[in-house]
Chain A
Amino acid sequence: MNHDNHGGAALAAGLELDGLASLVRSFTVRIETRGGSSMGSGVVWQSDGLIVTNAHVVHDERPLVSLGDAGTLDARVVALDRHRDLALLSVDADGLRAAPIGDAESLRAGSLVLALGHPHGVANAMSLGVVHAVTTRRGMPRYIVADLRLAPGNSGGPLVDSTGRVVGINAMIVGGLGVAIPSTVERRFLHEVSRSGATSFASPLAA
């Protein structure tokens, strides 16, 4: 049977997904507590070692960040915001591959999204789905709700759009739906931290 003319778009989509997974893997890190009791994921936000993740995966002042081929490094907690469930870590590294940051406001119900993370400790697992709804507050995206299979360990990892740009940080599973904090919120968080000084959210572990 000649398959040459069948499934061209589907096969191409599969190849592109493979490429996207490689891209997203290159800026997704694993975050572990010393002692290995808790695990989550994170996103390399800047090539100088700045990493964004969820506050709820950070349990001590010196979490371990696993960068894949680049090894495992001690990280410093730069800022922690329990309310927004965001944390900023820094590792002593340079020339890391930073994630391209996308525009969460461009997402619509039905837009394709991918998540990468370490669900239940499985390294670099990818899931594919669509945006279920984007909830808003004061006209700004509040949460990206996705029809997408997530599990504990995806927390802090990237939700990316069909071009591989990070549109959110996966933070919760509610009623089987993935809930991510939109990139607009991460941007604002970083902006606030940089304006007020890195330690203004200090004593983070007391929070």
Chain B
Amino acid sequence: MSASSSPAPAPATVLESLSNDLSAAVRAASASMVAIHARRRIPSSGIIWRPGIVVTTHHTIQREDNITVTLADGTTVGATLAGRDPTTDLAVLRLNSEVGVPIARAPLGAQVGQLVLALGMPGPSVTAALGVVSATGGEWRTWHGGRIDQFIRLDVAIYDGFSGGATVDAGGRLLGINSSGLARASAMTIPLATVERVAEQLLASGRVRRGYIGLGVQPVRLPAGVVTQHALSQPVGLMVVSIEEGAPAHAAGVSLGDVVVTCEGTPLADPSELLASLTGERIGTPLALRVLRAGALVEVAVTVGERPRRGEGASAHDAGRNG
């Protein structure tokens, strides 16, 4: 009894070449994948960003000491955490030597319907899952207030090692970093532009600097008379419901009950609009707020400070709703 030797079927040329292309894409990107030993049980995935530098997800790094990284060639090197940013779910590791093959970057952004591979390395070898880009959109903010340059959701199964691994195109080139920690365990990709920006900040200072003025605000509807009287462009504003003691807004004389109607001349209707203006680059510069106070419109200049570091446990409320 031996295995049958029936003739091979006619070559399915498109499927065969697709299969070959996909496995070649995995092979090409595999050289830049790493397994990170910074949690219990199974290792998590990471990507060689440049020699000696690994990018990964924040939520998969559960231990900051005694981190080791296994490269694609099987060698294991020590690593230190260069920094982490819970708001964008990114972390950067510095390897103890300048090793590793940097991953090739995709020339174009993700397109809906595009075939993608989600690669991981939750052990000694690279794993793959096939899917498509299911939705894309513009810049968005995570529930921890982090700025993500493009919304990219994948239709791909999430297995061990997904987060921190690579979303690659059919050529094996990086579109972004896989994360299941950004939006209710759905498969998301943190785009290259965000990785680039955050990784550089983490490498330079160990953290992502964010502006801060120390206000808690809530949208309110304004009486028609007030809108007409001050020729406001919209009938809403942001009422100040909390002020942190000693924070920049406190120092500038902002009071509870003030209603912020514009920031740098732009009308405000949602707290996220105020938050969006508090970028790291604004730190130390004055922010012009127009405020309704006791029926009068007043100008307040608040010098933007740096957001104090909070633990990883910073709640969505703390990070996301307060300016």
Interface set of A (CB-CB < 8 Å, partner B)? 9, 12-13, 16-17, 19-20, 23, 45-47, 50, 97-101, 108-112, 129-133, 145, 147, 161-165, 175-177, 183, 186-187, 190-191, 193-194, 198
Of B9-17, B135-143, B211-219, B273-281, the segment with at least 4 beta carbons within 8 Å of chain A is B9-17
In the complex, the answer to whether B9 meets A132 with C-beta atoms within 8 Å is: no
Question: Which residue among A99, A162, A193, A194 has the maximum number of chain B CB atoms within 10 Å of its CB?
Answer: A162
Instruction: A100-B4, A194-B1 given; name 15 further pairs at CB < 8 Å.
Output: A9-B18, A19-B12, A20-B9, A109-B23, A109-B26, A109-B125, A110-B27, A110-B117, A110-B130, A130-B22, A130-B128, A130-B129, A163-B16, A164-B9, A176-B159
In the complex, the answer to whether A111 meets B22 with C-beta atoms within 8 Å is: yes
Q: Is B252 an interface residue (CB 8 A)?
A: no
Our pick among B6, B11, B22, B129 for the contact of A132 (Cβ within 8 Å) is B129
In the complex, the answer to whether B14 meets A133 with C-beta atoms within 8 Å is: no
Give complex CA distance A112, B25 in Å. Answer: 12
* Chain A neighbourhood of B30, CB < 8 A: 109
Given A16-B15, A100-B6 in contact, is the A46-B1 Cβ separation under 8 Å?
A: yes
Chain B 67-107 near chain A by CB (<8 Å), digits 1 or 0: 00000000000000000000000000000000000000000
Would you give 16 A-B contacts (Cβ < 8 Å), ordered by A? Answer: A13-B15, A13-B18, A16-B13, A17-B15, A100-B6, A110-B24, A110-B25, A110-B26, A110-B117, A111-B22, A130-B129, A175-B159, A176-B157, A176-B159, A186-B3, A191-B2
- In the complex, the chain B residue whose C-beta lies closest to that of A24 is B9
Given A98-B6, A147-B129, A162-B19 in contact, is the A50-B12 Cβ separation under 8 Å?
A: no
In the complex, the answer to whether A23 meets B18 with C-beta atoms within 8 Å is: no
Q: Is B160 an interface residue (CB 8 A)?
A: yes
Interface of chain B residues 118 through 176 with chain A (CB within 8 A): 125-130, 157, 159-160
Our pick among A9, A19, A99 for the contact of B4 (Cβ within 8 Å) is A99
Question: Which residue among B3, B11, B13, B128 has the maximum number of chain A CB atoms within 10 Å of its CB?
Answer: B3
In the complex, the answer to whether B14 meets A16 with C-beta atoms within 8 Å is: yes
Our pick among B1, B12, B24 for the contact of A190 (Cβ within 8 Å) is B1
Q: Is B108 an interface residue (CB 8 A)?
A: no
- In the complex, the chain B residue whose C-beta lies closest to that of A20 is B12
In the complex, the answer to whether A98 meets B4 with C-beta atoms within 8 Å is: yes
Q: Is B246 an interface residue (CB 8 A)?
A: no
Q: Is B7 an interface residue (CB 8 A)?
A: yes
| Tally of contact residues, B, Cβ under 8 A | 33
**Top 8 A-B residue pairs of the complex, sorted by shortest distance between their CB atoms:** A110-B26, A194-B1, A112-B19, A162-B19, A98-B4, A110-B23, A108-B23, A147-B129
Give complex CA distance A99, B7 in Å. Answer: 9
* Chain A neighbourhood of B13, CB < 8 A: 16
* Chain A neighbourhood of B157, CB < 8 A: 147, 176
B132, chain A: closest CB distance, angstroms: 12
Q: Is B8 an interface residue (CB 8 A)?
A: yes
Chain B 19-52 near chain A by CB (<8 Å), digits 1 or 0: 1001111110010000000000000000000000
In the complex, the answer to whether A109 meets B128 with C-beta atoms within 8 Å is: yes
* Chain B neighbourhood of A108, CB < 8 A: 23, 26-27
In the complex, the answer to whether B8 meets A165 with C-beta atoms within 8 Å is: yes
In the complex, the answer to whether B125 meets A193 with C-beta atoms within 8 Å is: no
* Chain A neighbourhood of B4, CB < 8 A: 45-47, 98-101
Given A111-B23, A112-B19 in contact, is the A16-B12 Cβ separation under 8 Å?
A: yes
In the complex, the answer to whether B12 meets A164 with C-beta atoms within 8 Å is: yes
Give complex CA distance A130, B126 in Å. Answer: 13
* Chain B neighbourhood of A145, CB < 8 A: 127
Give complex CA distance A164, B13 in Å. Answer: 12
Give complex CA distance A88, B29 in Å. Answer: 40
Give complex CA distance A111, B8 in Å. Answer: 18
A110, chain B: closest CB distance, angstroms: 3
B7, chain A: closest CB distance, angstroms: 7
In the complex, the answer to whether B1 meets A163 with C-beta atoms within 8 Å is: no
Give complex CA distance A12, B12 in Å. Answer: 9
In the complex, the answer to whether A133 meets B3 with C-beta atoms within 8 Å is: no
